[in-house]
Amino acid sequence: MADKKVRFGILSTAKIAEKQLVPALKEAVNAELTAVASQSGKEKEAAQRWGAPFHYDDYRTLLKDPDIDAVYIPLPNSLHQKWAIEAMKNGKHVLLEKPAALNSDDIIAISSTAKEYNVQWMEAFMYQFHPQHTYVKKLIQDGEIGKIKRFRSHFSFPMDLTSDNIRLNKELGGGALFDVGCYCVHASRDLLDEEPLKVFSNARKLTEDGVDISSTSILTFEEADAVIDCSFDEPPSNYYEVIGTKGKIEVLHAFRPDENPDQGEGIVILKDLNNQIVNEKRLGGNPYTLQVEHFADCVLQDKEPRYNGEKSYNNMKVIEALYRSQG
């Protein structure tokens, strides 16, 4: 079992698969890329480029391959639930790109199917597997910043708002909150280790179809507040800070440490009440590889991922409430 590897298939030739998951599968000690499927005619070229032994021109054909143990699904958000369930019914474990679905009922359906067919599944919030967040939690648990009073987070990048990018397509599950704001929501809940009591969100939207291109949200927890900003219309940025009664923690490349031009490291800064730096720690690690290895280990050991279906459901409930607030 120690040297066994989970054989992955990938549904689609999406850019995130090529840029992030394929390299992660090659680095992982317990996983490997076996096949790719595309319905756009690009599967053969992608298989050659990615080093996949097999390729299919239909998703269902890949799912019926008995030599594939698990699939990674980076399809448009609106297709996540459909193909996750289809994969599970064919006995495949599923690593599902975030957001796992467009509503909490769909996540219930995914989790129920996984249980019925005795397979594992996990929503791919890869950032949480980077060691910088474990370090942040330790600082909090050790009382370095006292009692948490506020969490702030921002995730943005500029996009051509006149393009046909699927992130701008409402029918496909587009929107800044679904695409990048979901990370900020996840981080606030994960670090405060509780669910918000109420939420409010205001969004700037494209006139034609109502897709949110930027938003500011407030999540009210029992003793702390979270302020979350996300956008497709601002310079690249991804960070969070946790503010307490004794100081604060700043994480400069919170969600994409791999995009830090300085060696791709995570940077965690601890400051005191006078905003003076007490400690700065740099941590390495590819979050995509760490995510793949964790999920593959769960498949091999038949154990539930640490980020399970219940947690995905709870995160989606908050996102749903934020979208309702936007009107």
Inter-residue contact 86 to 61 (CB < 8 Å): no
Name the nearest CA neighbour of 182 among 99, 241, 260. 99
Specify whether the CB–CB gap between 107 and 85 falls below 8 A. no
Instruction: Report d(CA 175, CA 187) in Å as an integer.
Output: 19
Letter for the amino acid at 44? K
Residues sharing a CB contact under 8 Å with residue 206, sequence separation 6 or more, in sequence order: 161, 168, 213
In the numeric block, the tokens 């370095």 are attached to: 144
**Does residue 98 carry a catalytic annotation?**
yes
Query: Dihedral sign, CA of 141, 142, 143, 144?
Result: negative
- Strand-by-strand arrangement of the 225-231 sheet: 198-205, 212-220, 225-231, 148-156, 237-244, 247-251, 266-272, 277-283
Which residue is catalytic, options 5, 26, 92, 98? 98
Active site residues: 98
